[in-house]
Structure 1
Amino acid sequence: MMTREQIDAVLAVITSQEKAGQGNERVKEITNRLLKDLFYAMVDLNITSEEMWHAADYLKTVGQNNEWGLLFAGLGIEKFMDDMMDHEDQEAGLNNVTPRTIEGPLYVAGSPETESYAELENNPEENRNLERFYMEGTVKDVDGNPVEGALLEVWHCNEHGMYSYFDTSQSEYNLRRAIRIGADGKYKFKTVVPPGYSCPPGSATDKMMTLLGRHGSRPAHIHFFVTAPGYRKLTTQINIEGDPLIFEDFAFATKADLVPKITRHSAEEAVANGYGDEAYAHSFFNFTIVKEEAIHDNGENHRTRALAS
């Protein structure tokens, strides 16, 4: 087995070609550290050249299938990035009232914007097998003041576990909206209770989960961004209470404070409450965002995101 000294000698040969003052020092620092960790692991675990070339083929497939966002979630990398930011906030004495959790890979920019209230379905009849759902609450700052002008973006999957844009059978921005918050800080939207879903069968991420002895499924959830001038961007999601996988999410996104209580109402109650004539589920959830001057970052990671035409 090669010794650490022998491995370091190989690394020294590789880094000897770097020219001082040329290139990007941050890229050099990260790349050389990752190479060092990889070379040590190759020796410690006796990773063969055949296994390395299989890995190269796998990584090529992940890229060709645009699965990096899904794989980041499934391997817990995105969760760990959140945990690192939470740790930084704790060290700075910052309390995020509404917890952050992962964005996932399926956001699309430019959703239609409405004032205070939105209906997320373009074609309600397409989701007739799902339960009607209303969600409402407020967007406030840490002092409890409404954040007028904040933008609440919301998106989730359809009854087949598919997201519009990525699923071309759906109309543009189906189950995606952006709600502009008024002076009272309130929002409300009408949609359906989404189901959970799994990685596409046979996909690179699904194969990795199988090799790891894990499932590739997520509990039912709804995604949110909350943004406002002068405030840190909040990236979060809620889980649907009662889902059997709620604390077994393959993406590790569930947090207890992000599982609001859901109440069910009959069709008769819907009529009496002014919610039409179909049975429905209802939930309250309040978002709290933090003023930018109190924090060390603005919550935006500038990742590449989809934009519908």
Structure 2
Amino acid sequence: MSTTIISKVTLEQFLALTCDGDEPRGNPRYKAIIRKIVSDLCETIDQFDISDEEFWQAVNYFNFLGERKETALLAAGIGLEHFLDLRADAKEKLAGESGGTPRTIEGPLYVANAPLSDGFTRMDDGRDDGETMWLHGVVRDIHGEPIPGAVVDVWHANTLGNYSFFDKSQSDFNLRRRIVTDSEGVYRARSILPSGYGCPPDGPTQQLLDLLGRHGNRPAHIHFFVSAPGYKHLTTQINLNGDKYLWDDFAFATRDGLIADPIKITDDAVILQRELPGAHTEVNFDFSLQSAHDHEEEARVRRLRVGEV
């Protein structure tokens, strides 16, 4: 049902009163943003004749969302986090900037201050009997020159699709590490192949996705922050080719240029060189960083994260 009951004049008078639009006090930018949000909500209520009961169900939903700490998950699920990436891409294009590894969403499950290693690290604690993964690559600039001393901050799920810290059965910082690239810009890690995951089936995010007729599943993927002095901070993740949700990711994180091809390694010489117990899966992915214009571009976006003040 679409209708209009409140007149434009009445709505404008209401907004001027509630959002303090004509008063000198307060923050002008915040007042303008809140006025726009409230205006759009009021027009939506009017257009779809939303009942009082529906309105309060929505209020209760946001309370539930906060209680379950799924606000960031919902932001990914309804595409808002992906929209920020699209907008950042468009701003770079308008500025004539190009090149570098594509950005994509961070997601809600990062934990700061993972153990730091030089060149190589083992990420898993040995408790998960998942398939061994050899993850490696090179960090370069957009001209192809290696960047030694870059920090590759990497995290991923276990074979059940769960992340340490949020999954209390895992050890601290399991499958979370920071690796400083060597003199040739190389990073290497031994880990286990991750699995994709689904939204909690009893949570508010999946509740809304059900109403939209959508699933809440993600393909197997690996998250990265990649940073180095003088270069733009990169927030990205790679999805593993062959996953059935590769191009049907509920969080819209799959992007061209961010798909890795897992390769089964059975060569005894390679296995011996890597000091691995046997056949394993290799995931190779290189990163390319754009030069930063200022120090602010070298830092990751400020948001609430576990372990950060």
Q: How does 1:37-186 map to 2 (within 5 A)?
A: 37-122=40-125, 125-128=126-129, 130-186=130-186
Q: Is the 8 A contact 1:246 1:254 kept in 2?
A: yes
Give the equivalent residue in structure 2 for 1:220: 220
**Structure 1 residue 74: Cα displacement:** 0.5
| Residues 274, 297 of structure 1: alpha-carbon distance in 2 compared, 3 angstrom cutoff | closer
1:251 corresponds to 2:251: yes
Partner of 1:306: helix, strand, or coil? coil
Mapped to 2, the partners of 1:3 and 1:230 lie a distance apart of 54
Q: Cα deviations across residues 91-127 of structure 1 (Å, max 9, x unaligned)?
A: 11111420000000000000000001111002xx422
Q: Is the 8 A contact 2:232 2:299 kept in 1?
A: yes
Partner of 1:56: helix, strand, or coil? helix
Mapped to 2, the partners of 1:94 and 1:165 lie a distance apart of 38
Mapped to 2, the partners of 1:295 and 1:95 lie a distance apart of 19
Q: Considering only aligned residues, what root-mean-square deviation do their CA atoms show, in Å?
A: 2.1
Give the equivalent residue in structure 1 for 2:38: 35
Q: Is the 8 A contact 2:19 2:34 kept in 1?
A: no
Q: Is the 8 A contact 2:264 2:280 kept in 1?
A: yes
Unaligned runs of 5+ in 2: none
Partner of 1:109: helix, strand, or coil? coil
Aligned partner of 1:14 among 5, 14, 18: 18
Mapped to 2, the partners of 1:269 and 1:3 lie a distance apart of 77
Name the aligned partner's letter for residue 8 of structure 1.
E
**Structure 1 residue 263: Cα displacement:** 1.1
Mapped to 2, the partners of 1:137 and 1:278 lie a distance apart of 21
Q: Is the 8 A contact 1:262 1:283 kept in 2?
A: yes
TM-score, structure 2 normalization: 0.93
Stretches (4+) displaced over 6 A: none
Give the equivalent residue in structure 1 for 2:7: 3
Partner of 2:190: helix, strand, or coil? strand
**Structure 1 residue 294: Cα displacement:** 7.9
**Structure 1 residue 13: Cα displacement:** 2.7
Unaligned runs of 5+ in 1: none
Partner of 2:127: helix, strand, or coil? helix
| Residues 267, 138 of structure 1: alpha-carbon distance in 2 compared, 3 angstrom cutoff | closer
**Structure 1 residue 271: Cα displacement:** 4.2
1:291 corresponds to 2:291: yes
Mapped to 2, the partners of 1:137 and 1:112 lie a distance apart of 19
TM-score, structure 1 normalization: 0.93
